[in-house]
Chain A
Amino acid sequence: MSAVVDEHDHHADDHHDHGPEKGLLRWITTTNHKDIGTLYLLFALVMFFVGGSMAMVIRAELFEPGLQFVDPAFFNSMTTMHALVMVFGAVMPAFVGLANWQIPLMIGAADMALPRMNNMSFWMLVAGVLLLASTLFMEGGAPNGGWTLYPPLVLQPITVGKALPFAVFSVHLLGISSIMGAINIIATIFNMRAPAMKMMDMPLFVWTWLITAFLLIAVMPVFAGAVTMLLTDKFFHTSFFNAAGGGDPVLYQHIFWFFGHPEVYIMILPTFGVASTIIPVFARKPLFGYASMVWATASIAFLSFIVWAHHMFTVGMPVAGELYFMYATMIIAVPTGVKVFNWTATMWKGAMTFETPMLFSIAFVVLFTMGGFTGLMMAIAPADFQYHDTYFIVAHFHYTLVPASIFILMAAGYFWLPKWTGHMYNEKVGQLHFWLSAISVNILFFPQHFLGLAGMPRRIPDYAVQFADWNMISSIGGFIFGASQLLFLYIVIDTIRGGTGEKVSDEVWEDASKHGLEWTLPSPVPYHTWTIPPTSVPTEHVLDSH
């Protein structure tokens, strides 16, 4: 790829203005990867607060035993919608937004490979979320059978109301959106990369997204197929999940988790990628074990396809199946351990400074490791019979999602916002946001381990009195965590509007240009970048692999 042409060049009265369109239409019709990245990120931020509000409803109801604020069906809607909104509306789109912004900047590409499809990916996401959100206002309310949509529960009249077909079609649209986004990322990385950048020169964020994109294409159609069968079982008399007709409800669980397990890595692999990008910059050292990071990512992705039934140990599988899924799951600890040790070794004897992105990244390494360990505990099939469907699992996956994925998304915001906007965020408020978040997230989720081990089931609006104390503490942590995120909202708006007023350098962070191509561009990043690809690429991050 030598140069890039845009469609203005084909008109006689060509004005060589490469800036954005004026007005609202710019955001609807844009094909610019930075505009689309911004749309994704802002949409994800809004959804983060929508999903977060639902979590506040849940924690308020669980503040003390008994039914206080909402009726049980609405409570179940909140747990279901909180999960769907956070997974499909907040975390996944936020990482796609980062991919849109960063991948072309990091690999020296002028834009994404398929810009029109990029626009469609975003609007399909909005359409999918609109269909899902519309169920909140319907007779019978939003889906309330849990985000996994297990039959036969989700097919019962009392559980579905009018929501089921909307939820199913929402999943279809979100799937189309994700698949188009993933195809675009693959085509961009393979076809638009600067010729000077070899595959094993690519920043870890690009590598992890490449692998995540394959996961997305391989599993989103699986989820689409599963919910399609739910729809036909409900409305077209099929018997896929009906034992009387020869079907099996457990089949749905197998299909769902064949999607669902890779799906959780879709949310964590880009997290790893961002952490691997941020930590070396603030440790002022090359990433330790670049090649092993790449291979660990690929191994985790592969393993994610062959461990799904560890979500279903108590469903009544043959013992051979339980044993296989137990051991296969434990193997995942090996490549994950490689990553944790690599991050630690990167920081070892580094000239570290602790700006907000680094603080969030270090907290990620520590707290994600804990989420990983509780995962190992539940991988032990016989022990899982005690933890299954209790608050222990809730604590586990929230540790891997909130102080991991969400913290790293925050870190990414602090890390790249100065580059994108040309303004520095307020470091003091940033650090306040970090410490409030890091402390409250542990007050929120750590007690849930105790609740789970003591036997408190998940997805209930009321509970026995012996669980009261830890629930109250957990709720207090939840309210502090929720309120703290308003600081992030403030910082994002403030930074876009000028931040501290200090003009940031092109590098933003000391010596960052040794670590990534994006730091060699001006701050703020121009609307069009790399129309001529760079002839050399920084290799600080891969020094260690040679």
Chain B
Amino acid sequence: MSTNTAYYIPHKATWPVIGTAGLMTMLAGFANYLNGSSIGPALMVIGLLIFVVMLVGWFTLQAKESESGMYNHEVGISYRHGMMWFIFSEIVFFAVFFGTLWYTRNLSVPWLGEGATKELLWPSFDATWPTNGPGKVGGDFESMGAWGLPFLNTLILLTSGVTCTWAHHGLLAKNRDQLIKGLIATVALGFLFVTFQAIEYHEAYTDMGLTLGSGVYGSTFFMLTGFHGFHVCVGAIILSVVLFRSTQGHFKPENHFAFEAAAWYWHFVDVVWLGLFVFVYLM
């Protein structure tokens, strides 16, 4: 096995167009489903399958190329740029929903409860948070407290950040056992987080009257925590792939971009959760 000194440039790529076709089919299916068309769900499943096949195929190819030493130092730098700016775009995406929460709580809800809006439209509206608005959209609900499952989930994610770093130290110290154990713990904590969140959502819907339709509180609560939960799932799946590759003897102390990228992503998900815990649950 040799390591190239030259920058590797592939000459043909079939996975990108396959992945695009899959994603487009999936979204076209979803749009059809929302419009009430009966072919929607079938298209979604077909698109998803194509997309998953693409992910497996493309990542297998990348892993093979990486392990056979085709990527030199510069290729690694390009990949790091790619991952870094991808995560930046994700941060911006979350910022939109945090911004929405901020604007709603600090500007638009108070405006609904003052001046002419209050006098002429909704004199009885009490503009306090949490609210489902003057129209009481979605009916009575209880807001989600911070100190039950959410706090437990905070501890779980923080711990998973530690186990992830512990695994990284194992990788750097050529301690394969520590690497694998650390990753198993991280993945398990990730899925535990998602399980607790599912329980939390179940309670909200069945016992608390809190749904996605519970006015702007329900909208912002489920949008923020829901997108975050989706990202935890994605991160845990990425880490599972890294775990599988670790058991196959992949990664070296000087060459383990996939591990690094997964770890960056995981820490990003972790930090977003801290923001959620403070702004959605605590405040």
Contacts and interface: CB of A to CB of B under 8 A. Distances in A.
Contacts of A486: none
Given A29-B17, A187-B78, A238-B212, A5 B7 contact: yes
Given A225-B93, A225-B96, A247-B108, A116 B7 contact: no
A147 interface: no
Q: How large is the interface on B (under 10, 10 to 19, 20 to 34, 35 or more residues)?
A: 35 or more
Contacts of B4: 5
A21 B82 contact: no
A222 B74 contact: no
Interface string A25-51: 000111110000000000000000000
A16 to B, nearest CB: 12
Contacts, number: 238
The listed residue with most B CB atoms (<10 A of its CB), out of A114, A232, A239, is A239
Interface in A242-279: 242-248, 250-251, 254-255
A30 B12 contact: yes
* Residues of B contacting A: mostly: helix
A4 B9 contact: yes
A247 B104 contact: yes
Contacts of B193: none
Contacts of B104: 240, 246-248, 251
Nearest to A220: B89
A453 interface: no
Contacts of B223: 229, 232, 238, 240
Contacts of A186: 81, 85
Given A127-B24, A244-B133, A251-B108, A166 B31 contact: yes
Given A183-B86, A217-B92, A246 B5 contact: no
Contacts of A124: 20, 23
A237 interface: yes
A113 B10 CA distance: 11
Contact of B93 (A32, A187, A221): A221
A218 B89 CA distance: 6
B260 interface: no
Given A4-B7, A179-B89, A246 B78 contact: no
A110 interface: yes
A236 interface: yes
A292 to B, nearest CB: 27
Nearest to B65: A7
Nearest to B83: A183
B145 interface: no
B186 interface: no
The listed residue with most A CB atoms (<10 A of its CB), out of B9, B93, B104, is B9
A182 interface: yes
Contacts of A179: 85-86, 89
A173 B27 contact: yes
A281 interface: no
A136 to B, nearest CB: 15
A538 to B, nearest CB: 23
Interface stretch (B134-142, B151-159, B194-202, B269-277): B134-142
B109 interface: yes
A32 B9 CA distance: 9
Interface of B: 4-17, 19-21, 23-24, 27-28, 30-31, 34-35, 58, 70, 74, 77-79, 81-82, 85-86, 88-90, 92-93, 95-97, 99-100, 103-104, 107-109, 111-112, 131-135, 137-138, 211-213, 215-220, 222-223
8 smallest CB-CB distances across A and B, nearest first, come from: A244-B135, A225-B96, A246-B133, A237-B213, A120-B16, A246-B216, A248-B108, A245-B137
Interface of A: 1-8, 10, 21, 28-32, 110-111, 113-117, 119-120, 123-124, 126-127, 130-131, 134, 162, 165-166, 168-169, 172-173, 179, 182-184, 186-187, 190-192, 217-222, 224-226, 229, 231-232, 235-240, 242-248, 250-251, 254-255
8 contacts: A114-B82, A123-B17, A183-B82, A192-B7, A221-B90, A246-B137, A246-B216, A247-B108
